[in-house]
Amino acid sequence: DLFLPKGLAPGAKLPTTLVSTRYWRAGEGQAPTGEQRFWLARGYAFVYADVRGTGASYGQWYYPWSATEVKDIGRLVRWIAEQPWSNGRVGSIGTSYTGNTAQLVAASGHRAVKAVVPRFMDFDAYADLTYPGGVYNEMLLRDWGKMVYAMDMNKVPDAPGGVRKVDGDGDGALLAGAVADHQKNPPLHETMTASVVYRDDVVKGFGGATNDMSGTYRYRTQIERSRVPIFGWASWLDAGTSQGALNRFINWSNPQILVIGPWSHGGGNHASPYFPANHPTDPSSAIQAQQAACFFDQYLGDQPRGMGEKAIIYYTLGENVWKKTSSWPVAGTTMRRFYLGENQTLTGERPRALGRDSHQIDFEATTGQQNRWYTQLGGGDVVYPERTAQDARLLSYTSEPLANDLEVTGQGIVTLEVTSTARDGNFFVYLEDVSPDGKSTYVTEGMLRALHRKISTEPAPYRTLYPYHSFKKRDGRPLVPGQLSTLTFQLLPTSALFRAGHRIRIAIGGADKDTFQRLPATGEVTIAVNRGGVRASLIDLPVVPRSPGR
């Protein structure tokens, strides 16, 4: 679909905003959206496209962001640049799936692409969303798979008119031909099952592709070569979008401004666990759109100015303050170590005596159905209820009250020395802030499937600030029941202020029943966690020095 401002003068030349989606560019009879009207009012043309094999487009869609999809986007950029109304400058914006396509516009290699605004995208879909820590995100792949398959079949219950036909398709024959092509699309809710485990597993219906082929990080060479500036958006509380955005920032040389806030998926809700649900988002969605437009104005006008900056603007939970840094980690960051101690304490001193805490996994433990993973399905608010009741289902360790404020900004790294009665299992670790009145507030989490615990020595596909697990078949290592094993993995990044008088808690579990695969599928499992001695369990937290007066 092409939208142009009304009353466009003959010979006028406009910059173009491009969005490429797999969620239908529009339903039949749908009026222009507020987003489209916004860009037209700013003096932009707006192009909205169904990617190959979706909506009213022909062909097959095998998996997200395939090489063919990227080539199609490049052809679309070329078409835009050749139009009589185009000034030859194209920017792309999007959120979630369209955030990835916006980023991949920069891989097209076309000189018309001048800037991109990828919002809440998946830099590494396997590690940041579908299999974080190698743990199968059963809820997402089931519910998202069902939704997009229904769209591809043009059978969405709450959209009886179906997808918008293309111009000239009065009898719907073209749309029928497109939907016939879509019959070959894989039903992800059936093909992406728990039997798909590794990055390098070939997935049924993916046209011979592996589970890893949808990683946007794979296009680094093309995107860096483009030098296209990136205005990225992510959240500390939206799946692993912040992890991916930070990895992009530290790996790619493009000019980048990255904003990481306290939001639900898409930025529509203020999701800080330190505020009650339904707290007004900051900045508002309208201001977020204005900031994206200001960024495009720097590059897409007839007299582009450019910014050329590389910086991160981030929000610190609990302190409720926006900050800015040109480097990551933040200058002065040190890793502060806490050990698991006796009587379920968290201590700064390594316990000399070897101890062990046994815990039977509670497979009913959950973070609920408004967590950082559920928000990916439509951008609903992220709400973590007070955690004391759930902590009782887990194995938790709590520090003494802090003498001073402690800012944790970055990614913590957990090392668990454990035994299990099972040959495999998922391990979840939650970082929490316990106030003087005993209330426990969720801050962030990390997880690892024990099968993937080997720290790889092969070159990583991109640099990380945490141990690299390949998640490949050759590195899979089943547990030996009763044998001590080391699990080292990262927490998802955060920036949070633990106030003086508050305590730090980590809580360890083996299930999040509403979101992730139960592993093993049946039976009871007991783990034992070492504390103290040579093989002590611990957590390293990235601590940022506090400036005077703060």
- For residues 360 and 524, the answer to whether their CB atoms sit within 8 Å is yes
**E strand or H helix that includes residue 80:** helix 67-81
> Where are the alpha helices (H) located in 88-135, listed in sequence order?
97-105, 125
Q: Which of these is catalytic: 57, 72, 212, 265?
A: 265
Q: Which two tokens stand for residue 259?
A: 């904003």
Q: Is position 66 annotated as part of the catalytic site?
A: no
Q: Which two tokens stand for residue 546?
A: 């506090």
| Percentage helix, strand, coil for the chain under 3-state DSSP, each rounded to 5 | 25, 25, 50
Q: Give how far Cα 196 sits from Cα of 199, 383, 422, 472, 534, Å.
A: 9, 30, 20, 11, 36
Q: Which two tokens stand for residue 289?
A: 């759109």
Q: Which of these is catalytic: 96, 264, 396, 399?
A: 96
The burial class, CB within 10 Å (0-12 / 13-18 / 19+), for 218 is middle
Classify residue 369 by its DSSP letter.
S
Q: Is position 242 annotated as part of the catalytic site?
A: no
SS3 487: strand
**E strand or H helix that includes residue 530:** strand 526-531
Q: Which of these is catalytic: 50, 212, 238, 512?
A: 238
Minimal CA–CA distance to 395: which of 525, 237, 542, 239?
525
Determine the Cα–Cα distance for residues 187 and 460; give it in Å rounded to an integer.
Answer: 31
Close Cβ partners of 367 (under 8 Å, ≥ 6 residues apart): 384, 390, 430, 442, 445, 512, 514, 515
Determine the Cα–Cα distance for residues 49 and 20; give it in Å rounded to an integer.
Answer: 5
Q: Is position 265 annotated as part of the catalytic site?
A: yes
Burial profile 436-459: b = 16 or more Cβ within 10 angstroms, e = fewer? eeeebbbbbbbbbbbbbbbeeeee
- For residues 19 and 119, the answer to whether their CB atoms sit within 8 Å is no
Q: Which two tokens stand for residue 525?
A: 């499992």
**Residues acting as catalytic residues:** 96, 238, 265
